[in-house]
Structure 1
């Protein structure tokens, strides 16, 4: 295959050459510019650097944003400078190679279906839990995009009417209770009403609670910190609650938990499974979806984007 996959994040873009077995054989990392022209130049530079070392046939971009059904246009990406931009065409013109565009969660789902945790599954939902929540739905390996290219937007399902404010403008979205960011928010709420001197987190962040991160909360939970463990228990409950809602809508065979928070799955996934099974509509009278963690980790977006790009290039060649 030797296609390049590029995971375009709000802070950095990571490009990798992916071989026909789904292995990432070389990578380039660069900061993400906040100007559209500069971002496209950075992508082109990363591709040029990689193809100096490897033969490359196509390029795939995985972006966190609304990608139009034509898979050429980024309608909106909250952490990227593109607005109704024909990104695939513009990048292709710079590099002289075919470019395929996909939402990052969809790309990750394709990678897990092709090479990872979702191999052989019929109906798969991927839930990518990181700073927020991204979602993807596959049926027999085919990505569901919705009528306008932006479905399913799972992170902004409203689980708590009138709940925590979300950057999308709503209140009570799932990702405000079940994400790395949400984990830190929950820990801060618990610290505010806890005997703070008795906790590791309170002592460590006494001078600046704003520096507390979800990653640090997870680490403290592993260390036995009582507040961190309570925060993780709440995340597990909200994960189970959201998964039950997703399963009621899509009835998946398999749910894959991906994203940075999935690295801490031993701290919450068993409890989340139990809660999911207890609140699912018709519990006890229907099959439960299997729930697994992703296998490809941080490479999933790159591998999925490259896989889609290679397939599109093969189709063009006829």
Structure 2
């Protein structure tokens, strides 16, 4: 049980932690609900420390060499400051410094998408490829970049915010303040918004999905639409195909800029599997500049699921990646 590290993955709704060995295997887990976004940074910090203490107690007698935290937000180049977190109350928060005062092992902070990509590169779908772009499709779109086998964080530490590339000039308004961002067309929010628009228009094409939904409009979520599509609902499949096409358009843009060998697609929406990726690959091939005369990046599903973030955070802290 040498070379153990703790990984903490902080999302908008949960704090998930685990003790991870050098092979990426999780030995023990802890989980807490994420304090509401209006709470103080201190409350979130307390929640993280609670998870770390519980995990340390679970491997008492064994040495934990590092603690890695993956945060859903902009993490500065110092890998210690959370510059901005849209779903939490962190604004230029010196999180590593505050945690280090309360945790015995060395602490490292990173963006959650960077952590997920590192896990996939070390133990999952990106294994063996040196140039990788990871896209995480959830409420919005997150991303991360591997270049020559190392995470590329950019000059200021916040590279990979691919969801805010503009793909439609003067398009839909995005929470970031701009219009036409990629995540407004290829995310879980986009999937649900399109379904709601069809229901509001009383479109007959959505009658089967509406019947499946029943009277509870609150049940209309990305996972609900994905489950309906997997059960054969034609409109749910069409909605996923639309999101997949927009995904492919964005990936073609990224291929032009970054020329990766592989795209790894994770996040909650990726649970749709080939219902999402097949139309994405088709759109990617149609939009790719120089198509037919250049190598094409693979587009594959992430393998490590919801635990990629904590595995990667632990391994980054342990290896210094």
Question: Could you say whether these structures have the same fold, taking a TM-score greater than 0.5 normalized by the shorter chain as the test?
Answer: yes
Moved over 6 A (4+): none
Match of 1:232 in 2: 240
Aligned length: 313
CA distance in 2 between counterparts of 1:198 and 1:257 reads 28
Residues 83 and 92 in structure 2, CA contact (< 8 A), matched pair in contact too: yes
Which secondary structure does the structure 1 equivalent of 2:102 belong to?
helix
Structure 2, unaligned runs of 5 or more: none
Which piece of structure 1 moves more, 35-44 or 187-196? Answer: 187-196
Which secondary structure does the structure 1 equivalent of 2:58 belong to?
coil
Q: Deviations over 1:93-136 (max 9, x none)?
A: 11122100110110011111111111111210000111111111
CA distance in 1 between counterparts of 2:206 and 2:253 reads 37
Deviation at 1:236, TM superposition (A): 1.3
CA distance in 1 between counterparts of 2:145 and 2:206 reads 44
Match of 2:314 in 1: 306
Match of 1:143 in 2: 151
Structure 1, unaligned runs of 5 or more: none
Residues 69 and 313 in structure 2, CA contact (< 8 A), matched pair in contact too: yes
TM-score if structure 2 supplies the norm length? Answer: 0.93
Which piece of structure 1 moves more, 192-201 or 66-75? Answer: 192-201
TM-score if structure 1 supplies the norm length? Answer: 0.94
Which piece of structure 1 moves more, 198-207 or 32-41? Answer: 198-207
Output the aligned Cα RMSD: 1.6
Which piece of structure 1 moves more, 208-217 or 116-125? Answer: 208-217
Deviation at 1:206, TM superposition (A): 6.0
CA distance in 2 between counterparts of 1:299 and 1:95 reads 22
Match of 2:17 in 1: 15
One of 255, 259, 275 as aligned partner of 1:251: 259
Match of 1:152 in 2: 160
Q: Deviations over 1:214-270 (max 9, x none)?
A: 111111112222321221111111011111011111011111011111111121211
CA distance in 1 between counterparts of 2:257 and 2:195 reads 31
Q: Deviations over 1:264-301 (max 9, x none)?
A: 11212112101101111111111100111111111110
Match of 1:223 in 2: 231
CA distance in 2 between counterparts of 1:36 and 1:15 reads 18
Residues 1:171 and 2:179 aligned together: yes
Deviation at 1:210, TM superposition (A): 5.1
